[in-house]
Chains A and B, each alone.
Chain A
């Protein structure tokens, strides 16, 4: 049983394209996140949603737009992809009142 699942696992695309990454969690958690991990393995928060409501929006370009259709799903849409967007994007979730986050396996995005 996969707890936090992301699709696709790998994504190679050209500059200027628009792409989406999907995330689903079957843990019943209230909070979901998107993190970006750069080539030096540094993980940085991008967005956080609690019960479909955006609660954290770090300084991320407007080209990135998260969407949470329900509390089990948090998708990430990226417009006009740039070379610098190449990274591994992780979805995570955490239960209400707890502090630990559970991560998906990541989506490795390569922009060429």
Chain B
């Protein structure tokens, strides 16, 4: 069993839909949680970063962490075709220097 599980998709939604992306993990030592967006043939870019449990909102994006359930989510409101990409969850135990453990990524397609 992988440390971080993520449904690979693909997930196809119409423009304007609310998108929910999720990851589960098995290691309770993870404290820092991130979502990266990766466009085709590009490097991952950081979207959201959360420490421990709770919610964080940034524009159309909301990240949620539930450490008791070992479950994290990314919500995208009013999805746009430009949101079409692969979304990778990532987490780490300690601060800088510790490795990021990634999910396999969910491919999202937003239809105009």
Residues of A within 8 A of B (CB): 4, 30-31, 33, 35, 40-45, 48, 50, 55-56, 58, 90, 92, 94-106, 108
Task: Check if B97 sits within 8 Å of A48, measured CB to CB.
Answer: yes
Residues of B within 8 A of A (CB): 8, 32, 34, 36, 38, 41-46, 49, 51, 86, 88, 90, 92, 95-102, 104-105, 107
Query: Contacts A41-B86, A43-B88, A100-B49 given: A48-B43 contact, CB under 8 Å?
Result: no
Contacts of B43 in A (CB 8 A): 4, 90, 92, 103-106
Contacts of B8 in A (CB 8 A): 40-41
Partner of A40, one of B46, B88, B104: B104
Contacts of B46 in A (CB 8 A): 100-102
Closest-CB distance, A84 to chain B (whole angstroms):
18
Contacts of A108 in B (CB 8 A): 41
Partner of B96, one of A31, A41, A44, A103: A31
Task: Check if A96 sits within 8 Å of B96, measured CB to CB.
Answer: yes
27 residue pairs of the A-B complex, CB under 8 angstroms, read A30-B96, A41-B104, A43-B88, A43-B100, A43-B102, A45-B100, A48-B99, A50-B96, A56-B98, A58-B99, A96-B96, A96-B97, A97-B96, A98-B95, A98-B96, A99-B32, A99-B34, A99-B51, A100-B49, A102-B46, A103-B36, A103-B43, A103-B45, A104-B43, A105-B42, A106-B42, A108-B41
Using CB atoms, name the residue of chain B closest to A43.
B102
CA distance A30 to B97 in the complex (A): 9
CA distance A98 to B46 in the complex (A): 13
Closest-CB distance, A38 to chain B (whole angstroms):
10
